[in-house]
Chain A
Amino acid sequence: MEFEVLVQLKSEVLDPEARAIKDVLISQGISGIEGVTVAKRYVVALQADEAQADKKMEAIASEYLSNPVSQIYKIKRLAT
């Protein structure tokens, strides 16, 4: 099975990359830009018991793929 994990900075942490993208989009005259968020996407192919898979993925995301001090993550199971 495959999982998608999106990791991004917490909303209270300034992301200069996201800010630069937003500023450029606005400077291009594109209307309606309210915000830009940059996230890193990981796809993890995992062989695990169905009952254990979500828990295992949660541990990988919280302990390795993200830093709880500055980041949040979201896990989605991909259709196979």
Chain B
Amino acid sequence: MTKRLSAVGAPRVGVIQFPGSNCDEDCVDAFDRHFDIHATRLWHQNTELPPVDALVIPGGFSFGDYLRSGALAAHSPLMQQVKKFASRGGPIIGICNGFQILTESQLLPGALLHNMSQQFICRQVTVKDEHGRQFSMPIAHGEGRYWLDEKSLSEIEDDGRIAFQYCLPGGSTTFEANPNGSVANIAGVYSKNKKILGLMPHPERATDSLMGGSSDGLIVLRDFLNRI
């Protein structure tokens, strides 16, 4: 499995750490274990970005989710460098809180609001990507209800920027498949150039069949590395 998924040489991957990040080590471990990539941990207060080919903004509760999830982290010094990296076309993946940080930074469209149920949801979900491929991955969030206005929604639909949608096993994007009330069952979106991906499910927590019975996250991480 490991060798087959190692589609690229040895890209330099940076994993950004904020106070309250808690999926950073899982991301480092996933790249190390399955892709033989030794990611560099990057502290959010750094004002310089070392030479990297791709950036990961991991999940967690940066700054305790104060103000709004991701809102305070979006103003960390390193995020200025992340914006420059993005403007150069650098690939970035934001997972869960990382997705929230990317929307708060306006590197991705939309906003992530409190779940419709007002409850923290932690469970395995099925999502499908823009090609119809299905993935089983866990979600764990209180603020994952993706929202954007109708005009912006039709824009990202037309641009093919809806990366993942919650669906039933089989692929139908019904109301019952939607865990948090996201518009159009959206679980992940791309930036305009498709180099930046934000998603609520955790691919790094689905990298081994010992972990919830799914290693589908490896495909998501491999696709991300292929964007370099």
Contacts and interface: CB of A to CB of B under 8 A. Distances in A.
B67 A16 contact: no
B149 A67 contact: no
A79 interface: no
Please classify how large the interface on chain B is, using the bins under 10, 10 to 19, 20 to 34, 35 or more: 10 to 19
Of listed B67, B71, B109, B114, residue having the most chain A CB within 10 A? B67
Given A12-B149, A69-B148, A17 B114 contact: yes
Nearest to B104: A67
A14 B183 CA distance: 11
A65 B115 CA distance: 20
A20 interface: yes
A16 B118 contact: yes
Interface string A48-72: 0000000000000000110101100
B118 A13 contact: no
A69 B146 CA distance: 11
B214 to A, nearest CB: 29
Interface of A: 9, 12-14, 16-17, 20, 64-65, 67, 69-70
